[in-house]
């Protein structure tokens, strides 16, 4: 999740030393946003990262399948 919140301030400041900035569940995004616009922005960034990761996983999966066909 570092990628989704790497630009500027993020998270919820609980105390001077403690800040909540880790997403364990999808609805945790609401805890990390102070305004509706912040939540929309973070959701859009997460969507972009998810799409990129899906493409990378698909590419790797295709290459593994091709490699398996070559060695079998």
Q: What percent of the chain has pLDDT over 70?
A: 54
Q: In b/e form, how buried is each residue of 15-52, taking b as 16+ CB within 10 angstroms?
A: eeeeeebebeeeeebeebbeeeeeeeebeebbeeeeee
Mean pLDDT of 39-57: 84
The average confidence (pLDDT) of the chain is: 71
- Is pTM beyond 0.85? Reply is no
pLDDT of residue 27: 64
Summarised one tens digit per residue, pLDDT across range 3-34 is 545 555 555 555 555 555 556 666 666 666 77
């Amino acid at each position: 999740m570092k990628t989704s919140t790497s630009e500027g301030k993020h998270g919820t400041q609980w105390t001077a030393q403690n800040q909540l900035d880790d997403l364990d569940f999808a609805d945790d995004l609401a805890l990390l946003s102070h305004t509706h616009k912040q939540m929309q922005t973070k959701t859009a960034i997460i969507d972009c990262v998810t799409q990129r990761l899906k493409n990378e996983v698909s590419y790797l999966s295709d290459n593994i399948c091709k490699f398996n066909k070559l060695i079998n």
